[in-house]
Amino acid sequence: MQYIKGLEAYEADGRSAVTLGKFDGLHLGHKKLTDMVKEYGRQDDIKSIVCAFDMSVLWEKKGISREVLMTKDERRNHLEEEVDCLVDCPFTEEFSRMEAEEFIENVICNIFCAAYVVVGTDFRFGHGKRGDIHMLQAYARKYDYELIVIEKERREGHIISSTYIKQILKEGNMPFVCELLGYPYGLQGVVEHGKKLGRRLGFPTFNVAPAREKVMPPNGVYLNRVQVDGVWYDGIANIGVKPTVSDEERLLVESYLFDYSGDAYGKEVQIELLEFCRPEQKFADVEEMKKCVAGDIAFGRQYFEMAAD
Identify the pLDDT of residue 245.
Answer: 62
Q: Which residues are registered as beta bridge partners of 129?
A: none
What length is written for the chain? 309
Q: Do 211 and 253 meet the contact criterion of CB atoms below 8 Å apart?
A: no
Cα 196 to chain centroid distance, Å, stands at: 30
The SS3 assignment for 12 reads coil
Cα 198 to chain centroid distance, Å, stands at: 29
Identify the pLDDT of residue 122.
Answer: 95
Q: What is the pLDDT of residues 244-301, one digit of tens each?
A: 666 677 899 999 999 898 888 899 999 999 999 999 988 878 888 888 999 999 999 9
Task: Name the phi and psi angles at 214, rounded to 5.
Answer: -75, 130
By CB neighbour count within 10 A (0-12 exposed, 13-18 middle, 19+ buried), where does 95 fall?
A: middle
Mean pLDDT of the chain: 92
Q: Do 123 and 133 meet the contact criterion of CB atoms below 8 Å apart?
A: yes
Identify the pLDDT of residue 98.
Answer: 96
Q: Do 36 and 21 meet the contact criterion of CB atoms below 8 Å apart?
A: no
Identify the pLDDT of residue 225.
Answer: 97
Report the C-alpha gap between 139 and 135 in whole angstroms.
6
Report the C-alpha gap between 155 and 7 in whole angstroms.
34
The SS3 assignment for 37 reads helix
Q: What is the pLDDT of residues 84-132, one digit of tens each?
A: 999 999 998 899 999 999 999 999 999 999 999 999 999 999 999 999 9
In percent, the amount of the chain with pLDDT more than 90 equals 79
Distances (CA, A) of 168 to 133, 142, 157, 184: 29, 43, 14, 13
Report the C-alpha gap between 201 and 217 in whole angstroms.
26
Q: Which residues are registered as beta bridge partners of 118?
A: 19, 148
Q: What is the pLDDT of residues 188-226, one digit of tens each?
A: 999 998 766 555 555 678 899 999 999 999 999 999 999
Exposure class string for 247-274: b at 16+ Cβ within 10 A, else e: eeeeebbbbbbeebeeebeeeebbbbbb
DSSP string across 121-144: TT--BSGGG-B-HHHHHHTTTTTT
By CB neighbour count within 10 A (0-12 exposed, 13-18 middle, 19+ buried), where does 63 fall?
A: exposed
